[in-house]
Amino acid sequence: MHSFLLRGNAVLTFALTVLAVACVLASLTDTLHSSKPEVNVEILSVDAFGRNPGGNDEVVLTLHISADLQSVFTWNTKQLFVFLAAEYESSKNVLNQISIWDSIIQSKEDAKIHRRTRNKYSFVDQGSNLRGKDFNLTLHWNIMPVTGAMFSEKRVLTGFRLPKNYM
């Protein structure tokens, strides 16, 4: 180990090994973390409900989304991708999932969500099956770490029903 290149190779190999071990340990600490997020979603109003030009049912909702996801963040969390999905059953599909709102949260300080909003994306059925339909709203969040595997969690909120008649 007398040449400059051999010493440089040894130092670089050691540094990369230490970095790899640190990444693995950081990833393992996320599996031990337990979070207790608080989630609530209310439908404030059904603003529009009818058939779109394609003949499919379409709904426009005003929502109040309230969530405290600060406990989800760890020192290894880069960001959260949060989305709200409407989920219901139909004769064509056992489970229909429609993403109606989403957001990217990049810091723990921004992880308290209090938003009054309309659905950001269209709530459209494949046909005319939404009248009087029971559905769930599910808030999903994907945890994107600095290093390691991504994790997903969700909270299902039940007991929502669409009107029986078009508006």
Domain range for residue 82? 36-161
Q: Per residue in 26-43, pLDDT tens? A: 777 777 788 899 999 999
Of 112, 124, 144, the residue nearest 40 (C-alpha): 112
| CATH (domain of 95) | 2.60.40
Q: Evaluate whether residue 2 is within a structural domain.
A: yes
Q: Is 13 found in the same domain as 77?
A: no
Q: Answer positive or negative: Cα dihedral of 64, 94, 123, 167.
A: negative
Q: Is 129 found in the same domain as 71?
A: yes
Q: What is the mean pLDDT of residues 93-98?
A: 92
Q: Evaluate whether residue 166 is within a structural domain.
A: no
Is the pTM above the cut of 0.85? no
| % of the chain residues with pLDDT over 90 | 74
Q: Is 77 found in the same domain as 23?
A: no
Upper half-sphere CA count for residue 56 (Cβ side, 13 Å): 9
Q: Is 24 found in the same domain as 75?
A: no
Residue type at 95? L
- What would you report as the CA-atom Rg of the chain, rounded to the nearest whole angstrom? 23
For the chain, what is the domain count? 2
Q: Is 130 found in the same domain as 118?
A: yes
- Residue 1 is predicted with a pLDDT of 59
Q: Is 18 found in the same domain as 100?
A: no
